[in-house]
Amino acid sequence: MARSSSAKKKKQQQEKQLSAWRFLFGGCLMGGAGAAGSGDNKVRPGPRTAATKQPPAGAAGLQQRLSVTDVMSTCSDQDLSVSLVGSNLHVFTVGELKAATQGFVDSNFLGEGGFGPVYKGAVAEGAKPGLRAQQIAVKLWDPEGTQGHKEWLSEVIFLGQLRHPNLVKLVGYCSEEEHRLLVYEYMPKGSLENHLFKTFPPVLSWSTRLNIAVGAAKGLAFLHDAEKPVIYRDFKTSNILLNPEYEAKLSDFGLAKDGPEGDDTHVSTRVMGTHGYAAPEYILTGHLTAKSDVYSFGVVLLEILSGRRAVDKARPSRERHLVEHMRAWLKDPQKLARVMDPALEGAYPAAAAHRAALVAYRCLSGSPKSRPDMSRVVEDLEPLLAVTGDDDDAPGEPPAAAGEEAARRRDGERREKQGRAQQDRGVARSPKRAVPRRRAPGQSQEFWEWHMPAQPKA
């Protein structure tokens, strides 16, 4: 009897999860037996069905976000066909997206990451019911890339339900035969990475940098403080996109994870991320928490302050890892000039810059418990937007000395850039990349240092 009761309870739980899935999504249908038994790893969608009637806008079931775990526990991650209902996403065909991007022409190529290439496109008014005319960015799945169907599904599930001014908007998606595409709002100013480390004029001013940092922090705080928390897991400058007003929006949720719930303190997962941004305890244990994102934010904030990459192999060995090289300086106002980007030419209020440096210092603590929550980071950084002062005032150094230091660093930067250019011409691509990647004009080799999975942790 006990065994029968346990089986019945398990079945009821599965039916409850499946009901929640079907309420928000149009269906989760298994493909044919031939596809399931073929033995390969390709995703083959199941048969299409008639459109499911959309629930009322105020339906209670839409109040609770569906987690990736809910989906994966009730549906196979292969032979999956997904039709979202009630999430304001538009379902496109490959033909429609090909037309929108002019056949994925090279002149519309924006860049490429672990999932695949991204192209600029445009949709006309009325192309889809309720879809306004707008520019879009279309991301195609590359079967030879480092990401696949799970990452595509994560993007659809998270961005299909999450809405915030500092998250990029997912317009729609395409799941047709073996094709997996994602359609986003187009962000004309590109990524923060391009503006910090490339030759994109003009140089980002102090106020713009700080505003970007605050916006990105608000995006992370929204994810962490949600009823069902989300851990972003891949916070870096290339994933922070900028709108025409240089407002930050987080993109690329393929590696995002549902945060721990109940009595759980962490999520155990294989280590994935980008070298230089991942928290040390996550790399060592595979235990993922919101404080892992806080560490990554600290790395990005230090990049914003210094104008230097998290990892730069072209620099002298002692300077290659930014956090190791500069973290100790962040709490010392006497060394602020050594931290700040020479490209700013001293045009920043030293008081605000030092307080921002202290925020970065705390975020980069080796102890996760010593790091602040992202909501606290927002509270500490946002008031700095109103701080003004003598732009040439550098604590502990006379203005002339600060200017000389900046000049020396600019001269060193020029020499190092020349060395990097020579090195890039002679260095082979990473052996992890089996297929050569295209690069948009001005993009460096480092842009393609993406996700490096380690062995699963116990």
Beta partners for residue 176, in sequence order: 179
**Cα–Cα–Cα angle for 170, 111, 163, rounded to 5 degrees:** 15
Structure tokens at 25: 């999504």
Q: Give me the phi and psi of 159, to 5 degrees please.
A: -75, -15
Structure tokens at 202: 């003009």
Contact in structure between 287 and 268 (CB atoms under 8 Å): yes
Half-sphere exposure of 453 (CA within 13 A, CB side): 10
Rounded Cα gap, residues 218 and 227, in angstroms? 16
Rounded Cα gap, residues 23 and 74, in angstroms? 13
Rounded Cα gap, residues 406 and 408, in angstroms? 5
**Cα–Cα–Cα angle for 400, 406, 409, rounded to 5 degrees:** 145
Structure tokens at 205: 């001013």
Contact in structure between 231 and 399 (CB atoms under 8 Å): no
Catalytic site includes residue 293: no
DSSP for 254-267 reads TT-EEPP-TT---E
Catalytic residue among 234, 252, 258, 341: 234
In the DSSP assignment, the letter for residue 104 is T
Omega of the bond leading into 202 within 30 degrees of 0 (cis): yes
Contact in structure between 319 and 339 (CB atoms under 8 Å): no
The residue to which tokens 């870096």 are assigned: 236
Rounded Cα gap, residues 124 and 100, in angstroms? 9
Rounded Cα gap, residues 180 and 282, in angstroms? 30
Taking alpha carbons only, the member of 156, 185, 181 closest to residue 85 is 156
For residue 185, give the H/E element and its range.
strand 179-185
Question: What amino acid positions are annotated as catalytic residues?
Answer: 234
